[in-house]
Chain A
Amino acid sequence: MANAFVAAFEILSFGAIIVLIVLGLGIIASMMGIFNFAQGEFVLLGAYITYLAYAKGLPIWAGMVAAPFVVGALGFVLEALIIRRFYAAPIVAMLGTYALGLIIRESVRGLIGGFYLTVPEPIGGSIDIGAMHISAWRFTIIVITLLVMGGCYLLLSRTSFGLRVRATLENPSLARASGISTPLIYGATFAFGAALAGLAGALIVPVFSLFADLGLRFLIQGFVAVMVGGVGSFIGPVAGAGVIGTLSAALPWVMAPVVADVLVFVLAIVFIKFRPQGLIAGKGV
């Protein structure tokens, strides 16, 4: 019983981490039609900023709060300077964002060297339920993920900003004709997606420690999750992330980790092949 509970918690917390990382990726892919290869590096930057705050003696919380804003601002600038030119061609966008990611990743590698740097958990210790212990920080991540997910959903479905974003997605020329500044909306959406990645990086760095290839590790999992969930809506990628995260965490409990690792990807690709529109089809929230 205790074991099953611990396993369930592990699976849940890993699923939450994947959802957190995919949120930004999914918003950019769905709302802008760009598969952002630099997303993993935005995660890395968020983690790096948190580490920097810790190394400078600031409270870790400060770094975690700053990370999304800094990365979001960077995302806004990058969109205005570079990403903007790629909207017409999705493949070129992949290559361009890959080049951007390469620059960011190698810069961070130059800054931290080839080390694994650890950042302590801001909320240490464990929560005890009877004889079972679960990590307090991982529990916090689950809670924050749920909050962020709810917040994003409300932002996109209930606010006028969300309405503008969806209008721009649905029909850019009509949106422009209606007086919506689509370039600004694209910039804001990209910045928002980047900020979410920054937040994800900041939150997961105590769990995974900081190393240059941190983002790369999640990038492909994130892409697969977005495809499985379905591009075009907010909820699709989140659902996909839930499925992929849960599978990647659950399968190693029942089979050899190597096989499980590969099986998740194979299953996902086969699924997408036969259901290209993903779990949740259609545009909207």
Chain B
Amino acid sequence: MGAAKQAVQVDVGDETDVPVIEHAPSERETTRKILPIVEGVVLLAALLAPLVLQDYLTVFATRVIILALFALSFDLVWGYAGIMSFGQALFFGSAGYGVALLARDLDITNIFLVLPAGTLIGLTFALLLGGFLLLGRHPSSVIFVSLGTLTGSYAADRLARGWYYLGGQNGIPSIAPMSLGGYDFTEGPAFYYLVLGILVVVYLLCRFLVRSQFGLALAGLRENEQRIAFFGYKAQHLKAIIFTVGGAIAGLAGSLYAFHEGFVWPNMVGVVVSTQVVLYVLFGGSGTLIGAVIGTVIVEGVSFWLSDNYRDIWPIILGLLLLLVILFRPLGLISFVLGERERVGSFGAKIKEKRNAAP
């Protein structure tokens, strides 16, 4: 336990220290850019983690990284486009079930087949559900979308619990490990770095996406949907697109999770996991990609650390903390180090932002 405690403290310590560090001036602007520093520190910590952690903690860290990938998908949908998806686990879990079935019934465990398959499953489900909920002649209300996704996730949970083919209450146990040629990815550093690599790639893609013109339209959607519609954007289409992208990332995370844990069970598609991911992102700070990652690490890390001694009261503390964050820090923990200006960020090609000071 000692190591876990240290690891968590070191992580948290690094992040709170960030503003104090005197940093070499960045390539442009006189204002200090904090976001790249935070991202760099987190990446460095993640790269070094398996070297200092014991084996069983590396396994835990792998799980956290996968969940961070999942949190990223929710952040994209809620933090950037303002779509409250209370059913993100539907895509996570259905992809998990999908690849578990591939491995169980068809003996397909090749990494180049299962990961795209999982991503595709998440994408398809998100396209279907998102298309149904978001598109249509009349724009759907926020409440309808959030409750619709919640209901979808709950219904999937009930279906997984009751359907014998999917293993019922017990889910699908002992999934064969993911393979590459003759090599099997089992829990450990190799799996960790694989997952970390995927997270970094997806993170960079997301970062590119939200800093593009498309991202600007999304941010407008979040702030004032009607105005974006009046500008001539097809607001509902934008929403459906980002929802689908989020679903695909959740699917990727879900398939990794299924192979890492070696089993899938109904909770994975259900309300429990759906709300868990909301917690991660709210804690860390929605609307910043790194906030989602940090939130996941903190919530999971503290929960792991406390689970030995305070297993019973931890969820209560979590609820209290969440309430405090919602009431007093609606932008999440990241807002302690990240200013509003930088959170909103700049969009599009770089030449523009040099001339245009106004956001």
Query: Which residues of A line the B interface, CB within 8 A?
Result: 35, 82, 85, 90-92, 94-96, 98-103, 106-107, 109-110, 216, 220, 223-224, 227, 231, 257-258, 261-262, 265-266, 268-269, 272-273, 276
Q: Report the minimal beta-carbon distance from B319 to chain A, rounded to whole angstroms.
A: 4
Query: Does B204 touch A at the CB level, under 8 Å?
Result: no
- The residue that A269 contacts in the complex, of B146, B151, B271, B318, with Cβ under 8 A, is B151
Closest to A258 in B: B162
Q: Report the minimal beta-carbon distance from A37 to chain B, rounded to whole angstroms.
A: 9
State the CA gap A91–B83 with chains docked (Å). 10
Query: Does B348 touch A at the CB level, under 8 Å?
Result: no
Closest to B325 in A: A99
Query: By the criterion CB–CB under 8 Å, are A268 and B158 in contact?
Result: no
Query: By the criterion CB–CB under 8 Å, are A269 and B275 in contact?
Result: no
Query: By the criterion CB–CB under 8 Å, are A224 and B147 in contact?
Result: yes
Query: By the criterion CB–CB under 8 Å, are A110 and B150 in contact?
Result: no
- The residue that B278 contacts in the complex, of A95, A216, A223, A261, with Cβ under 8 A, is A95
State the CA gap A261–B327 with chains docked (Å). 36
Query: By the criterion CB–CB under 8 Å, are A92 and B158 in contact?
Result: no
State the CA gap A82–B320 with chains docked (Å). 12
Query: Does B3 touch A at the CB level, under 8 Å?
Result: no
Query: By the criterion CB–CB under 8 Å, are A102 and B322 in contact?
Result: yes
Residues of A within 8 A of B133 (CB): 269, 273
Query: By the criterion CB–CB under 8 Å, are A220 and B146 in contact?
Result: no
Q: Report the minimal beta-carbon distance from A9 to chain B, rounded to whole angstroms.
A: 25
Given contacts A82-B327, A276-B144, contact A223 B158 (CB under 8 A): no
Q: Report the minimal beta-carbon distance from A160 to chain B, rounded to whole angstroms.
A: 31
- Nearest 7 CB-CB pairs, A to B? A258-B162, A102-B319, A103-B319, A106-B315, A265-B155, A99-B322, A99-B323
Interface string of B71-95 (1 = CB under 8 A from A): 0000000000000101000000000
State the CA gap A204–B152 with chains docked (Å). 26
Query: By the criterion CB–CB under 8 Å, are B154 and A220 in contact?
Result: yes
Residues of A within 8 A of B282 (CB): 95
Residues of B within 8 A of A96 (CB): 323, 326-327
Query: By the criterion CB–CB under 8 Å, are B151 and A273 in contact?
Result: no
Query: By the criterion CB–CB under 8 Å, are B140 and A102 in contact?
Result: no
Query: Does B220 touch A at the CB level, under 8 Å?
Result: no
Residues of B within 8 A of A258 (CB): 158-159, 161-163
Given contacts A110-B312, A223-B151, A265-B151, contact A90 B159 (CB under 8 A): no
Query: Does B12 touch A at the CB level, under 8 Å?
Result: no
Closest to A224 in B: B151
Given contacts A223-B147, A227-B144, contact A103 B316 (CB under 8 A): yes
Query: Does B138 touch A at the CB level, under 8 Å?
Result: yes
CB-defined A-B contacts under 8 Å, sample of 10: A82-B327, A92-B326, A220-B150, A227-B144, A257-B162, A261-B158, A262-B159, A265-B154, A265-B155, A276-B144
Excluding A103-B319, A103-B323, A258-B162, 16 further A-B contacts by CB distance (< 8 Å) are A95-B322, A99-B319, A99-B320, A102-B319, A103-B320, A106-B312, A110-B312, A110-B316, A227-B144, A261-B155, A261-B162, A262-B159, A265-B158, A266-B155, A268-B151, A276-B140
Query: Does B309 touch A at the CB level, under 8 Å?
Result: no
Query: Does B247 touch A at the CB level, under 8 Å?
Result: no
- The residue that A35 contacts in the complex, of B143, B161, B278, with Cβ under 8 A, is B143
State the CA gap A223–B84 with chains docked (Å). 16
Residues of A within 8 A of B147 (CB): 35, 223-224, 227
Query: By the criterion CB–CB under 8 Å, are A99 and B326 in contact?
Result: yes
State the CA gap A82–B323 with chains docked (Å). 9
Q: Report the minimal beta-carbon distance from B199 to chain A, rounded to whole angstroms.
A: 25
Q: Report the minimal beta-carbon distance from B312 to chain A, rounded to whole angstroms.
A: 5
Given contacts A95-B282, A268-B151, contact A216 B318 (CB under 8 A): no
Query: Does B330 touch A at the CB level, under 8 Å?
Result: yes
Query: Does B142 touch A at the CB level, under 8 Å?
Result: yes
Residues of B within 8 A of A98 (CB): 275, 278
Residues of B within 8 A of A92 (CB): 326, 330
Query: By the criterion CB–CB under 8 Å, are A102 and B315 in contact?
Result: yes
- The residue that A91 contacts in the complex, of B84, B132, B158, with Cβ under 8 A, is B84
Closest to B158 in A: A261
Query: By the criterion CB–CB under 8 Å, are A273 and B140 in contact?
Result: yes
State the CA gap A257–B162 with chains docked (Å). 8
Q: Report the minimal beta-carbon distance from B244 to chain A, rounded to whole angstroms.
A: 18
Query: Does B301 touch A at the CB level, under 8 Å?
Result: no
Name which of A95, A109, A262 has the most chain B CB atoms within 10 A of its CB.
A95
Query: Does B201 touch A at the CB level, under 8 Å?
Result: no
